[in-house]
Amino acid sequence: MKEKNENLLAQNRKARHDYFIKETLEAGIALTGTEIKSVRARRITLKDGYIQIINGSAFLENVHISEYKQGNRYNHDPLRSRRLLLHKNEIRRLAKAAEERGITIIPLKVYLKHGFAKVLIGLAQGKKQYDKRETIKKRDQEREIRRKYRV
């Protein structure tokens, strides 16, 4: 577990608050040289990101990777769409799931694995306001129980 946390570069904390995560999948990201340097420096934001499937390829959209400071003229566009490296079967399964009503594909985490940048993507279904309140209530109750037994 500790090894995973050291390699964690970015996390979409609001995803589990706003969505029910039905399934997760690991994918590689096709990045340019200055992008990977910025990602390793943890200058990436997943907040409003989503995955879109176009012509049998999966793309990571609306994820901000800041420009690399020493990148000069070879720098990248911070909001460009980035291709995800997945098998065709996985892409087909994601496309089929995304066609369902209320299902979206979102990035949950970006981390390094064996020197390569990976993204953990999730099939998510949006929560209603009352679901969010219920989740918060349940979490507070569990915290209170743990506090009582700890003393």
pTM above 0.75, yes or no: yes
What domain range includes position 136? 2-150
CA atoms of 43 and 35, how far apart (whole Å): 9
Domain count, the chain: 1
Distance in angstroms (rounded) separating the CA atoms of residues 93 and 37: 32
Q: How many residues does the chain have?
A: 151
CATH number of the domain that 61 lies in? 2.40.280.10
* pLDDT, tens digit (0-9, with 9 covering 90-100), for 30-87: 988 888 888 888 989 888 899 999 998 999 999 888 888 877 777 877 788 899 999 9
pLDDT at 6: 63
Three-state DSSP class for residue 50: strand
Q: What is the pLDDT of residues 72-130, one digit of tens each?
A: 777 877 788 899 999 999 999 999 988 888 889 999 999 999 889 999 999 988 888 87
Q: Which two tokens stand for residue 68?
A: 């690399």
